[in-house]
Chains A and B, each alone.
Chain A
Amino acid sequence: MQVVRCQLAPPQRALQASAVLRRVSDELKEPLGSSSQQQFDSHPADHQPEQQPQGPRPSYTGQGGQESEDYESEEQLQHRILTAALEFVPEHGWTAEAIAEGAKTLGLSVAAAGMFHSDGSELILHFVSQCNTKLSELLEQEQKLVQLGEAEKKPTDQFLRDAVEARLRMLIPYIEKWPQALSILLLPHNIPSSLNLLTSMIDDIWHYAGDQSTDFNWYTRRAVLTGIYNTTELVMMQDSSPDFEETWRFLENRVADATNMGNTADQVQSTGEAVVQGLMGAAVTIKNLTGLNQRR
């Protein structure tokens, strides 16, 4: 499973910020009569709804000697905030406002947004990473079905089309703000992470497509698919047809082109080999005719 961590804000600043917002949120959590969100019979010691058991991860909330029940790590907290923030992206864009709103829904202070860069980079990278993980899971399940004989193995071009379509469909809820996200992902300080996420996604798709190349083809295939994915993504940004039909047709054509290119390359190679054989044959014939082929 390929999971890539987003760029994290400098740890110290984040540490203090998170400790501060915890205490602030503790204060805010006193049961208010007018608040409809709070449970009226809440135990004072109960803070946020428990997440999955954290295990031996260090807790950064023990600053005052007081430890909270959920030993949540810095990173998991950030994950939760970002996931909650996604809901507000269609409205606020990939910005600190969306993150602040997300933090509010978790009952944290809006100061939580201070943990992240102001350009929304981490939110976008988090989203991309989530989408990639979902895609991997989807492909893994499909593979299991094929192995159990419950589904037909798709031909490669069909497989690639479906995988890219599935992945791009995850953008649909955020499509209005996606161009903004793409431009942020191209900022120099984000390029290593976004490139990493892109390449591992493409590698995943090829892996599940059954690619077993161990020569330069490995690179060619991935480069071609990356090109297909990126261009299709751009077409999708400008597509206004119902359910993005134009985009899927574009995708189909590009994949067909790529397959043709592969076939043509094979044909060229066979022709080349045949020509070489012919020349070798001619050379041997000439050597025979002129008697140069005698062993001395």
Chain B
Amino acid sequence: PAGAVSLRRCSTRVTLEGVNRPVIDRIIRVDHAGEYGANRIYAGQMAVLGRSSVGPIIQQMWNQEKDHLKKFNELMVAYRVRPTVLLPFWNVAGFVLGAGSALLGRKGAMACTVAVEESISDHYNSQIRTLMEEDPEKYKELLQIIKQFRDDEREHHDIGLEHDAEAAPAYSVLKTAIQLGCKAAIFLSERI
């Protein structure tokens, strides 16, 4: 029937011509893994501290991470990027990290948030630099998204600090350990 022709625009498809595949692949894969892990971390924290006074704040940050993950899911399909094999592992590791840090108390949870969000924003910053060096015009949309997310993560970092993250037990040790873990996770997710 002529009237019922629906020209469904390929809205999930992005022009893949001229895109630097290896670079974009890595960026999207690792960012997707990162948001997935962050989701699980907050889930772990909520499981322990959900009914405490910081529950609503963690919930709010978690909701933002869920949005981030959704966005990267879309980008992943659009750019035809494969997800990292380690996703099941990040699933468990993230939850354990979140729950573990929350068991150290609210400050412990906040310290974990500060450490992770700082790692992530540094990481987003270096990706922004890479994309700017490549071709700011071609990757305009991606750049916009990453900049927005970087700002969100910075905000989470600041919220963590506001809620006495630095007063957590063994703060500097905790922070260093977590950030080391994040660096390893980023390295692996980019490649595998």
CB 8 Å contact bits of A145-156 with B (1 = contact, 0 = none): 001110000000
Shortest distance in angstroms between B185's beta carbon and chain A's nearest beta carbon? 17
State in angstroms the CA–CA spacing of A147 and B11 once bound together. Answer: 11
- Complex contacts, B10 vs chain A, CB 8 Å: 147
Contact across chains for B83 and A147 when beta carbons are under 8 A apart: no
CB 8 Å contact bits of A119-150 with B (1 = contact, 0 = none): 00000000000000000000000000001110
Contact across chains for B4 and A218 when beta carbons are under 8 A apart: no
Shortest distance in angstroms between B144's beta carbon and chain A's nearest beta carbon? 21
State in angstroms the CA–CA spacing of A148 and B76 once bound together. Answer: 25
Contact across chains for B32 and A148 when beta carbons are under 8 A apart: no
Stretch in A5-13, A43-51, A59-67, A208-216 touching the partner: A208-216
Interface of A is mostly: loop
Does B180 make an interface contact (CB < 8 A)? no
Please give me the residue from chain B that is nearest to A217 by CB atom: B83
Shortest distance in angstroms between B85's beta carbon and chain A's nearest beta carbon? 7
Please give me the residue from chain A that is nearest to B17 by CB atom: A1
Interface size class of B (residues with CB under 8 A): 10 to 19
Tell me which of A147, A207, A214, A216 has the highest count of chain B C-beta atoms within 10 A of its own C-beta: A214
Contact across chains for A207 and B80 when beta carbons are under 8 A apart: yes
Identify which of residues 38-94 in chain B touch chain A, using a CB-to-CB cut-off of 8 Å.
Answer: 72-73, 76-77, 80, 82-83, 85, 87-88
Shortest distance in angstroms between A165's beta carbon and chain B's nearest beta carbon? 24
Known A214-B83, A219-B85; contact A148-B7, beta-carbon cutoff 8 A: yes
Return 25 A-B CB contacts under 8 Å, by A number: A147-B7, A147-B8, A147-B10, A148-B7, A149-B4, A149-B5, A149-B6, A203-B82, A207-B80, A212-B12, A214-B32, A214-B72, A214-B73, A214-B76, A214-B77, A214-B83, A215-B83, A215-B87, A216-B83, A216-B85, A216-B87, A216-B88, A218-B82, A218-B83, A219-B85
Known: A148-B5, A149-B4. 11 other contacts (CB 8 A): A147-B8, A148-B7, A203-B80, A212-B12, A214-B72, A214-B76, A215-B87, A216-B85, A216-B87, A216-B88, A218-B83
